[in-house]
Each structure stands twice: as structure tokens, then as C-alpha cells.
Amino acid sequence: MTLQTEQPPTQSSTERLDRQMIVILDFGSQYSELIARRIRETQVYSEVLSYRTTAEQLRQLSPKGIILSGGPNSVYDSNAPHCDPEIWTLGIPILGVCYGMQVMVQQLGGGVERAERGEYGKAALIVDDADSLFAEVVNGVTMWMSHGDSVTSLPEGFKCLAHTDNTPCAAIADRTRQFYGVQFHPEVVHSLGGQVLLRNFVYQVCACEPTWTTEAFVEEAIREVKARVGEKRVLLALSGGVDSSTLAFLMYRAIGEQLTCMFIDQGFMRKGEPERLLKLFKEQFHIPVEYVNARDRFVSQLVGVTDPEDKRKRIGHEFIRVFETESKRLGPFDYLAQGTLYPDVIESADTNVDPQTGERVAVKIKSHHNVGGLPKDLQFKLVEPLRKLFKDEVRKVGRSIGLPEEIVNRHPFPGPGLAIRILGEITDERLNILRDADLIVRQEINRSGTYHELWQAFAVLLPVRSVGVMGDQRTYAYPIVLRFVTSEDGMTADWARVPYDLLETISNRIVNEVRGVNRVVYDITSKPPGTIEWE
């Protein structure tokens, strides 16, 4: 987990949360977010900014250190991205990673050329000149390489610190100016000494303090919500997942009865989940939730619909209509609380600003279903206390404020719910069959202790029937597909090698307990080429 739990910080340390910052300048690397997460694992705040960020903008942020990410380009290409050359005059420690190291070398007067032999994958790193950057990094440790270019000459003031068999300058430094470069990727899990190196940069080179803690974040978030919202009313669309549940708890702690939580039951939730959610918030958290039963409205929109994209669009459109109607009934509201997370902030260019106030206004609803934009005439101002956090940090915060493990470690669940785990047309019969099968899956993987080893585990209902024999009688019923996968982040996934005994137990229970099913199969497709969800 990236946020660490320790004693509550003093007021002064809480105020320094964003000042104890490492900035990552992104040159298009697929690992830029991962660098930020690794820095946060050291209990120091980090942000990802564009490589176009100017030196003056960085000076105003006053970070303790800067990391230049990797990237797909070659620095000598005519259109290659480069950073503002004035950043070298800021007096801030800088670490260049892969392409970032090559940018540093080229802009400071060194040479970078196409290597005779590229280097990809694991390589043993030989440390030639031990430095604070390499404190406690084992000589000969495996690091992950991915480059076709290499440094051919160093800028004035630099020296090589390490090499590999194929790369003479695998790490460099100008100790006077505290500029460092590594040709490998310390942020990836394959670099066995990578986190130690990053920690050394954060603490030994940049002299950061460990202020990015769970308790400090919660205090800061509550203070900021109070200051932003004042006495105004806030609406929050609750789904029961970890993001919206953590958001609801924080908001209620900050503003109490000024918060209205709305749960829209669209009829595609798992068995017992709406009732469990409402009971949990009412009895354990004492947070009132406005329940909206819109099951018939949503199901009626999907009659005869089989195309998965059409399903999503119809569900999204209906959610907007229900949200619009219910928000007017319960309102008026000045603010919409959204569970925007830091990856959304990095990736989203859909930021709309009120020209009168300069505040962001809502055109998307992300906290409930991620299914589509709100009407532009619903001009809520946004309050987004989780927007600095990665998913694993939200889980850490949720656990620290008392959310039960069933919410904190809940597997990802699609916004359209079971509607996209039933292939073909949605009917009440099929929904009931899948709910019963899904419940058995959840019960058995929890009973076996494998739930937390899996990224997702769920059932899919196929719109075909096959012949079976039950009690000496011919049956003609639906098959259930079991989809269990392991993953680090959901971007790629592999099918889970769960025990056969577990699969046998689940299969036997589904066939014997769920009317309308006579066959269970197991999906052994990875992502790619398949997706995790079937639709």
C-alpha cells in the first residue's frame, strides 16, 4: 500500500503534505504513473506533470525533486520532446529515467546515439562508483532495461556510476548539481533494487520528510472540504464500491447533514447488495442514504437489446435521467461530490471551468457508474477529495476510517453491473439465474480463502442452451461461465490457476441449486487477447 499508517501528524506536517513533493515530468512513458506510485510508497507525495511544464511553474510548486520519465522517442529525432532548459538552473535535484536520462545528457551537452545492440529485459547492474543513490543497492542486482539508444559521451561534470554488459553508462551523476540518470527502469517490479534506489533519491538526495500518511491525508481532506463547501449542500451518488463509500464517509465526517447520499438501484446489482449497503450505512456509519428504486425503468430500456455497447449507452442515458429527476426532487444542491481518482486527473482532458468562478463544473458522473455525462444544465460545482489518490491509497484510507473489508477489498464491479455479464437480451429470468450463480461463486471463493488472491472472480450467463441429464431426465438449460483472473492493475490479466476442488464445488452447487443451469465452464483466456469482462 502506498499510504502508511503512523501516529497522527502535527498541524505543521499536515500543511507540508504538498510541499514535500516529487514531480514526475512525463515524456509519454507507460510507467509514469507507476513512478508516482513508487514514490508515494516512500511516504512522500508525488505528482505527474507534462514534460511541457515550465521552469517557472516548477519553481512555484517548489518540489523537493524532479524525475524525468522514460518515453518512446529518440532524443535526436526532430520532433522529440524536451523539457524547458531552464529546469537545469532551478537548483532542484533531478533524476532522469531511461529516456529522461538521455534528455538530461543531450540538453547538457553530451551525446546520445543509436546503440549497436539494444537492451531489453533483465540485466545485471554492476556498480562502479558507490554513491548515495546506490546506498544498500546490491552490486550485480537485476534491473529492467528497455532501450535502443545509449549515452556515448557525458556532459561536463558527469561521471558513470554503473554499467551492464551491453550499456557502459547505465547510471550517471553530476554530484555537484545533484543530477542523476539511470538507463534502466527502477519503478518496475522486475528491477529488484529499484525501490531502494528510488527511496535513496527521495531521502538521501532530495532530503524529503515522510509526510504523506493516511492520517495526514484524512485531516487535510476534511479541512479542505469544510473550507470549500462552507454551509452549502452536497449530493453524492453512492454505488457501494470502495471509492464512493470512502468518499461518503469523508464527506459526512466533514460536513455532516449537509451531505445527501443517493443510491440508484438500477436492478443489475448482485444478490442482496442493495439491502446490505443501505443497512451498513444506516446502522454502522449512521449516514442516511436516499434509496431510489429504478429497477423497472432500467430493465424496460433493455428489452430486445443484445449489443453490449447499446446496453451501456442505454443504461448510461437512463442513469442520467434518473439522477436528474431525483437530484431536483432532493435539492437544490450546490456541489456534486465525485470519486475522481488521481489516474482520472492525469488522463482526463475533460475539465470544464466556470468562467465566473474559475471552479470546475460537472459534465461527468464518475462516482456511481462511469456511464456518461450529466446534462450541462446541471451546473454543480465539484468537490473531489480523493483526486490526489491512487486506487490502492483509497483502500488504505477506507480501511483507516473503518470501512469493512468487504468494501475495502471488493473486486472491481462494472458500472452496468450484471447487465454486461449476461450476453444477449436481459430478462428477469436471466438476472435471477445469474444472481444466484454469482452468490455461490462469492460464497465459495470466500470460504476457500482465495478471494484476496484474485483480481476478479465472477459468473457469466450465455444466451444459449445445451442438453443435460438430471435425475434421469433430459434438460435443456443455460451454461454458466466462470471467469477468475489475476492482475496487478487490470490493464493485463491472466486466468487464475485455482484448485480443481474449488471449481468442482462451485460447479456442483450451481448445477444443483440454480434452476435453469445444467453446465458450468471455466474461461482460460488471458487479457490480451480477451478482456476481463465478456461485454
Bond from prior residue into 72 cis (ω within 30 degrees of 0): no
CA distance 261 to 326: 11
490 φ/ψ sector (left φ>0, alpha ψ -120 to 50, else beta): left
Phi, psi for 357 (deg, rounded to 5): -105, -20
DSSP 8-state code for residue 166: S
Q: Find the catalytic residue in 187, 215, 318, 393.
A: 187
From the CB of residue 120, how many other CB atoms can be counted at a distance below 10 Å? Answer: 11
Rounded CA-CA distance 121/185 in Å is 10
Helices (H) and strands (E) counted in the chain, each on its own, are: 15, 20
Question: Which position among 83, 98, 208, 261 bears the catalytic label?
Answer: 98
Report d(CA 174, CA 190) in Å as an integer. Answer: 27
Distance, CA of 278 to CA of 458 (rounded, Å): 23
CA distances from 410 to 214, 273, 277, 285, 395 (A): 20, 12, 13, 18, 10
Q: Are 196 and 143 in contact, with CB atoms under 8 Å apart?
A: no
- Tell me how far apart the alpha carbons of residues 320 and 362 are, in angstroms, rounded to a whole number: 13
Coil, strand, or helix at residue 125?
Answer: coil
- Is 226 in contact with 254 (CB distance < 8 Å)? yes
Count of beta carbons in the 10 Å neighbourhood of residue 216: 23
Least Cα distance to 150 among 131, 133, 171 occurs for: 171
Contact 373, 313 (CB under 8 A): no
The values of phi and psi at residue 505, to 5°, are -60, -45
Concerning whether 98 is annotated as a catalytic residue, the answer is: yes
- Find, among 321, 351, 331, the residue nearest to 236 by Cα: 331
SS3 137: coil
Rounded Cα distance, 352 and 358, in Å: 9
State the DSSP H helix or E strand holding residue 394, giving kind and residue range, or none if neither: helix 391-400
The angle subtended at Cα 395 by Cα 64 and Cα 374, nearest 5°, is 95
Using an 8 Å Cβ cutoff, are 160 and 85 in contact?
no
Q: Give the whole-angstrom CA distance, residue 124 versus residue 137.
A: 12
Question: Among all chains, which residue has been given the C-alpha cell 517490479?
Answer: 189
Nearest-10 crossing angle of helices 428-448, 500-513: 150
Q: Name the residues annotated as catalytic.
A: 98, 185, 187
